[in-house]
Amino acid sequence: MSLLPDLPGDGDFEQVQVLVDRASGMQAVLAVHDTRMGPAFGGIRRRAYGSVADATRDVLALASAMTWKCAMAGLPAGGGKLVLVDHPGLDREAAYRRIGEFVESLGGRFSTGPDVGTTDADLRAVCSRTRHCADPDSGGPGDLGRATALGVFHALQATARHAGLVLEGATVLVQGLGTVGGPLARMCRDAGARLLLADVDGQRAKCLAAELGAGLVDPDRVLETRCDVLAPCALGGLLDEAAARSLSARAVCGAANNLLASDRVGRILHERGIPVAPDFVANAGALIVGCLHQLHGTRVGDDRIVAIGQVVAGLLEESARTGVPPGEVALARARSRVAAVPHRLYLGGS
């Protein structure tokens, strides 16, 4: 008998907890996946989940993915996540404050920060109640979007190189020009790439294209547009099997999580000789900066993020040598790093 028959995520979970605060309308679920490497890190996702069961499924998958992401980033940390059910009756500020109190009660076993649906204002409410949250202001780890963009940029360079391309003169199509895609586009332009930009927010795309001298692409035609490197920085699941068979790009690297709709997509691209940087390795910049600031109180230098490029290059080389798609190589490496450490619960520092 299983309480959660289609239990997603990987392996065991140390803690799965439903949090309810009737006064603010807060219903949230916390999952701590694995803390044998150190305290769990994971942002707060706010979404209009249909039920607590839906929210639980999402939080389990997200929390286990964070464990692998921390392991590949070489961080002394494990995976966790908190999801907040959005609904019209939610008193958002009070709900985030309550979450802050709850996170504080865990004494550092779980540290949190931004994720989809959680703004700087929401984080301020969390930070008003706990020390274990990334402060969006001057006391915090700094510009997390830039950190992610920097890691993706170096991963993208490594991926392009693996495909026999140099960025100078290559055409890079950036899809999604938000917190990560915007700075990434600037970095690619500074490296001499020719830019194509796409965003469903037409005004945003137009302004950035004018600033950077880039071409504009219809957001519905990203997959058919000819380019050398595709950099998806919008939503996950962009590449399905049909797209993988017809894609003209020679390399793929972006920030979007779960970029490939399935493992099969990764295998098709691999067979076609199109290297894909594993998303959870390429987009770890914000996690690295946020986690090390939380643990040591210091701001991390860029070299720690730049090193993501070497990690991606190593994964692509191993993939070429073994015939295993790069995403599968990265996941296997992350799992074996975690499995090599005896399992014990991190009980919190304070």
| Alpha carbon distance 99, 124 (integer Å) | 12
| Alpha carbon distance 343, 337 (integer Å) | 12
CB 48 within 8 A of CB 86: yes
The single residue among 219, 237, 314, 348 that binds ligand NAI, judged by CB under 6 A, is 219
End-to-end CA distance of the chain: 37
Token pair, residue 19, equals 């949090």
Among all residues, whose Cβ is closest to ligand NAI?
178
Print the binding letters for residues 12-51 with ligand NAI: x by CB under 6 A, - otherwise.
----------------------------------------
The single residue among 71, 188, 195, 233 that binds ligand NAI, judged by CB under 6 A, is 233
Phi, psi of 308 (to 5 degrees): -55, -35
Please tell me whether residue 213 adopts helix, strand or coil conformation: coil
The single residue among 79, 100, 145, 278 that binds ligand NAI, judged by CB under 6 A, is 145
Work out whether 286 is an interface residue with ligand NAI (CB under 6 A): yes
Shortest distance, position 175 Cβ to ligand NAI, whole Å? 5
Please tell me whether residue 259 adopts helix, strand or coil conformation: coil
Annotation says 69 is catalytic = no
The single residue among 124, 257, 262, 324 that binds ligand NAI, judged by CB under 6 A, is 257
Q: Which stretch binds ligand NAI (CB under 6 A): 45-53, 122-130, 140-148, 297-305?
A: 140-148
| Alpha carbon distance 64, 81 (integer Å) | 9
The single residue among 181, 266, 275, 309 that binds ligand NAI, judged by CB under 6 A, is 181
Work out whether 144 is an interface residue with ligand NAI (CB under 6 A): yes
Which of 45, 57, 69, 81 is the catalytic position? 81
Per-residue H/E/C for 308-348: HHHHHHHHHHHHHHHCCCHHHHHHHHHHHHHHCCCCCCCCC
Alpha-helical runs (H) found in 106-180: 120-127, 144-162
Binding site for ligand NAI (CB under 6 A): 144-145, 148, 175-181, 198-201, 204, 219, 233-236, 255-257, 283, 286
Catalytic residues: 81
